[in-house]
Structure 1
Amino acid sequence: MSILLIAAMILTVILLSKQKAGSSAGFLTNISYKLKGSLLSHNFWLAGTALFVANTALFGIAFVIVFFLPMGTILGLLLCIPLSIFTWLFISEIWDGNDKDKIKMACVGNSFFLILMIWAIWHYITLKPAYPGDDLFMAWIGLIFSLVLGVGAMAVSMFVILRNR
């Protein structure tokens, strides 16, 4: 499992280093050009909500792949990480407003990860042992893992969205 996590981190670093080339690719430019003048490119609430929905959908896809498909962890890591980065690049390319509103849009859209981390902490705080003497160490490990993944996803998303053009 740790090998898969390291491979996903390496893939993320490679994709982030190539993001300038990916953002100028014809496919992304053609789609974003059609949406440049729309309300989505100027209203940070609407763009942030679209980013929130995209993050929620990508998390749902990753959840289904990892937990309901055999050998889904490998497929989930190889599919959802590049798809997430592509989605964040797409939202970043569509944005045509000022940088202050772009920061607001990124905060609204990435609040999904904050809500997910708050839920994980609340779930851990209200966790009761299944039987007397039950060790909740594995629940603590799961909490730490979910917090690291949430902070990592939020940081990468903010970095990709708020990068300079």
Structure 2
Amino acid sequence: MPPTPPPGTPGEFVTVPDIDSVPGSGGIRGPIGLGFRVPCLVISPYSRGPLMVHDTFDHTSTLKLIRARFGVPVPNLTAWRDATVGDMTSTFNFAAPPNPSKPNLDHPRLNALPKLPQCVPNAVLGTVTKTAIPYRVPFPQSMPTQETAPTRGIPSGLF
């Protein structure tokens, strides 16, 4: 369950007086909250991996990054959301010079994947008639594990 603000937090609750009269609302009242979790990929010359950051981010985090980096104010940001989500500065290393070099993508597992020569133009229409690339089930089976990498930040969720 994503973090939700305490009851009555200004700017974080649906507050329409007669919400039952709003078409399509279904009479839903309550907190807006952060929504469901999705991965956040940061690709920048100031962010070289492998690195995992466990902060909680949302759509206002990029605005908070601009505020932290350049001092630009962020209007319409509630105090609860400001305290709950990160500003993405933990994903960057601005003290180091930028590294614009291309990362090494020559990895045995990446190279073993089948490659399609091109995108089929009618794929957008959903009318692809080519057969799918067969999936080879690895044998013997093993429990998947997450690769290790340096980490920064705080565990996501409430703390």
So what's the TM-score if we normalise by structure 1? 0.24
Greater percentage in strand: 2
Normalized per residue, the structure richer in helix is: 1
Q: Quick check: which has more Rg, 1 or 2?
A: 2
